[in-house]
């Protein structure tokens, strides 16, 4: 397992829809392992494949740090098939460093996908897990949590991230 580099806004791979996975081969299993390792290392509670530069529909989630009943969930081609209620939670994202904002999402969701053996799985989630699943599936659709906040806040956040990136690029430049 390896810790991968996490892409941050405005990397294009974060802003595009990820491709469905047709065959769960060794490469996909390896990617899932590396994504889990990367998520635990960050540390984070969820990660989508396009956050590590792989534009594929694959997510890993583990809320066990805050919710003891949770464990590692790996989902291939996940989709929300039912949703109800609304809830608001403060969210952050490894691809949007140093920024948190309150986001309103569905309170409960039913998510369908495949596990790494290619078996169909259906998950009923509420609370934190429901929020994280929606956040990660958003990533696969090229959407970030800041797309759910007010335009003014979003523009301020984006400007800050662009400035931060410009500074990083400047520091990386050879002397």
Phi, psi values for residue 111, rounded to 5°: -115, 135
CA distance 110 to 150: 27
Q: Show the tokens assigned to 5.
A: 């580099």
93 vs 133, beta carbon nearer Ni ion: 93
The Cα diameter of the chain in Å comes to 55
47 vs 114, beta carbon nearer Ni ion: 47
Smallest separation (angstroms) from Ni ion to the CB of 68 = 23
Contact string (CB under 5 A) for Ni ion, positions 88-117, x = contact: -----x------------------------
Give yes or no for a contact between 70 and 62, defined as CB atoms under 8 angstroms apart: yes
Q: How many H-runs (helices) and E-runs (strands) does the chain carry?
A: 3, 5
Smallest separation (angstroms) from Ni ion to the CB of 109 = 16
In angstroms, what CA-CA distances link 107 with 18, 69, 87?
25, 18, 5
Contact string (CB under 5 A) for Ni ion, positions 29-68, x = contact: ----------------------------------------
> Binding segment for Ni ion among 2-10, 86-94, 98-106, 114-122 (CB under 5 A)?
86-94
Q: Show the tokens assigned to 39.
A: 């998520």
Would residue 155 show up in a list of annotated catalytic residues for this protein? Answer: no
18 vs 93, beta carbon nearer Ni ion: 93
Q: Which residue numbers are catalytic?
A: 136
Which residues are at the interface with Ni ion (CB under 5 A)? 93
């Amino acid at each position: 397992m390896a810790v991968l580099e996490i892409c941050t806004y405005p990397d294009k791979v974060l802003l595009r829809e990820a491709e469905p996975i047709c065959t769960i081969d060794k490469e996909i299993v390896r990617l899932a392992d590396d994504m889990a390792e990367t998520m635990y290392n960050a540390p984070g509670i969820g990660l989508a494949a396009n956050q590590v530069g792989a534009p594929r529909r694959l997510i890993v989630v583990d809320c066990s740090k805050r919710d003891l009943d949770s464990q590692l969930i790996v989902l291939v081609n996940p989709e929300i098939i039912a949703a109800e209620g609304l809830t608001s939670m403060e969210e952050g994202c490894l691809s949007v460093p140093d920024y948190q904002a309150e986001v309103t999402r569905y309170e409960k969701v039913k998510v369908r996908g495949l596990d790494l053996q290619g078996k169909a799985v259906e998950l009923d989630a509420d609370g934190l897990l429901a929020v994280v699943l929606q956040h990660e599936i958003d990533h696969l659709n090229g959407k970030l949590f800041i797309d759910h906040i007010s335009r003014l806040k979003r523009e301020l956040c984006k400007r800050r991230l662009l400035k931060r990136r410009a500074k990083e690029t400047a520091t990386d430049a050879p002397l």
